[in-house]
Structure 1
Amino acid sequence: MTTLADRTIAALRTTHDELAAFVRGLDAADLTRPSGCSEWSVAQVLSHLGSGAEIALATLRAAQDGEEAPGQDFNHPVWDRWNAKEPEEQAEDFLAADADIVSAFESLDAGARERLQIKLGFLPMPGSVALVAGMRLNEAALHAWDVMVAFDPKATVGRDAAGVLTDLYAGPLDFLIGFIGRPDGLDPRLATTLRVETTDPENLQGLTLGETVGFSDAPEPADVTLALPSEAWARLLSGRLAPEHTPPSATVTGDGVTLDDLRRVFPGF
């Protein structure tokens, strides 16, 4: 049986392979282009992914060895070292570090994927492999888009990653929505539960907007329906669905809530 952890790790591999192939074709000038992250160049995005991969690998190894997760005294020197690299070195070292964390997740057998608990300093309880690999996929897939969009304004999140992320957001990563959602971005009079219909791949969810933001069962009937590709859904939730990057198939039907309202609720991070 294919589990959510299995699907997440497979999507991590696809995301890595696609981004790595793209990065290998970039030259020095390409690496200094502004990325989809407003304050980072392409190389800086890759540096962030590389340092994150190094920290994630140390965290995974600690869990496997039954040790405490590395803390800020480990993380800060890693960030400082990556930030000090030249752009071409950041890109080259990203390729190796990202390959290492993907391979480490792939090496987990079925038992470990089901039972291993991984301590994270910012969560009160250890996380499952699906949760921790899912957090890495969320970061990798969205930052891969940040790199790609620097060269193509119609860039999309990879289909495999988008499909898995849709399930993760309403599953082990549901806490992220409460963290990144800004309910004060919506007029309280527009509070509602949206019916969210995603395609490629298809999925159906409910998104409650009110004093808090969170997932629910899809309402039937619904006052407001949001329909969009799964990859655009991932980008909307992460503040990456500006009008110029919104596919024509993304629509909101019903009274009240608009795409611009949703962009204010999910401004990005």
Structure 2
Amino acid sequence: MTDRADQIIEALRSGHDQLSEVVRGLGPEDLTRTSGASEWDVSQVLSHMGSGAEIALAALDRALSGGGPADSDFNKSVWARWDAMSPAERAEGFGPANEALVSRYEALDAETRKELRIDLGFLPAPVDVATAAGLRLSEFTLHTWDVEVTFDPAAALASAAVGPLLDPVGMLIGFVGRTDALDGRHLRLAIRLTAPDRSFGLDLGDAVAIIDEEPAVPDAVLAAPAEWWLRLVAGRHAPEHTPGDVSLTGDALTLDELRLVFPGY
């Protein structure tokens, strides 16, 4: 688990450095453009990431000091402060806020990375460093894409984050997947990913679930880069942002129907 925590923290660092460079190059008009998260402009995405960094850092610091969960109004006060900022202030504040969180994770020694438990406030029990940092990595990586795709329709998720984020998708997919659009069809897909290479099954029944092995006779086969699979599950899968090496073969399901299974969050 410590190795996983190390990998995630390294990905948080490289992701921070990458997005900080992008943000430094943005002008006033760029900050108010609609982002990949269609209900937010670019500055609002940065606000969400900056406030999230402050909240995550507070939870980490409380865990390190042996304190309990934050007061119920703490998060609201952080969000309200960032919401009140101008677009320029959000862009200026994002970097220091996220740097503080990443630096604190980097400063944890091996024993702390293994043994510390962090109460995030929205889970039934405190979690280890790998889980807490992994949740932050998922949020950070997807919202980085929301910023970058505003200026580059072919933007992809940061490669350093893709591997660490693949396995946790299995725990999330049942909550975010919707099979209503399939009109009662029960389908099993073979999923074949690249960079990194993975293969498994996807069950689309009353719920959506990952199967360890590909079905022997799949109803369809999805071949895609692993980063696009992560974007598919998160609803960031529009045709104009789908690379040419994504394919879905088989007559039982179209790619547009598969997109409907994952409306986004």
For the superposition of Structure 1 and Structure 2, which TM-score range results when normalised by the shorter chain?
Answer: over 0.9
Amino acid corresponding to residue 242 of structure 1 in structure 2: A
Structure 2 CA distance, aligned partners of 1:131 and 1:204?
Answer: 23
Aligned to 2:54: 54
After TM superposition, give the deviation of residue 85 of structure 1 in Å: 0.5
Q: How does 1:44-83 map to 2 (within 5 A)?
A: 44-83=44-83
After TM superposition, give the deviation of residue 203 of structure 1 in Å: 1.8
**What do the CA deviations read for 1:26-71 (whole angstroms, capped 9, x no partner)?**
1111111111111111111000000000000001111122221224
In the alignment, does 2:112 pair up with 1:112?
yes
- Among candidates 190, 194, 197, match of residue 202 of structure 1: 197
After TM superposition, give the deviation of residue 16 of structure 1 in Å: 0.7
Structure 1 CA distance, aligned partners of 2:158 and 2:25?
Answer: 18
In the alignment, does 2:221 pair up with 1:254?
no
Change (3 A) 1:168 1:106: farther
- Among candidates 217, 221, 225, match of residue 212 of structure 2: 217
Report the RMSD for the aligned CA atoms in angstroms: 1.6
Structure 2 CA distance, aligned partners of 1:131 and 1:111?
Answer: 15
Amino acid corresponding to residue 60 of structure 1 in structure 2: L
After TM superposition, give the deviation of residue 73 of structure 1 in Å: 0.7
Structure 2 CA distance, aligned partners of 1:72 and 1:244?
Answer: 41
TM-score by length of 1: 0.93
Which deviates more, 219-228 or 45-54?
219-228
Whether contact under 8 Å (1:159, 1:201) holds in the other structure is no
Whether contact under 8 Å (2:181, 2:260) holds in the other structure is yes
Structure 1 CA distance, aligned partners of 2:131 and 2:261?
Answer: 24
Whether contact under 8 Å (1:15, 1:158) holds in the other structure is yes
Whether contact under 8 Å (1:184, 1:265) holds in the other structure is yes
After TM superposition, give the deviation of residue 167 of structure 1 in Å: 2.6
Change (3 A) 1:204 1:40: same
Query: 3-state SS of the aligned residue for 1:188?
Result: coil
- Among candidates 173, 180, 183, match of residue 184 of structure 1: 180
Query: 3-state SS of the aligned residue for 1:72?
Result: coil
Structure 2 CA distance, aligned partners of 1:157 and 1:148?
Answer: 9
Whether contact under 8 Å (1:71, 1:121) holds in the other structure is no
Aligned to 1:193: 188
Structure 2 CA distance, aligned partners of 1:250 and 1:145?
Answer: 18
Q: How does 1:6-155 map to 2 (within 5 A)?
A: 6-155=6-155
After TM superposition, give the deviation of residue 204 of structure 1 in Å: 2.2
Which deviates more, 198-207 or 4-13?
198-207
After TM superposition, give the deviation of residue 132 of structure 1 in Å: 1.1
After TM superposition, give the deviation of residue 183 of structure 1 in Å: 2.7
After TM superposition, give the deviation of residue 6 of structure 1 in Å: 1.4
Change (3 A) 1:149 1:97: same
Number of equivalenced pairs: 264
Amino acid corresponding to residue 17 of structure 2 in structure 1: D
After TM superposition, give the deviation of residue 182 of structure 1 in Å: 1.6
In the alignment, does 2:264 pair up with 1:268?
yes
After TM superposition, give the deviation of residue 226 of structure 1 in Å: 1.2
| Paired-residue identity, % | 52
Amino acid corresponding to residue 185 of structure 1 in structure 2: A
Whether contact under 8 Å (2:42, 2:147) holds in the other structure is yes
Flag structure 1 segments of 5+ consecutive residues without an equivalent.
Answer: none
Whether contact under 8 Å (1:44, 1:87) holds in the other structure is yes
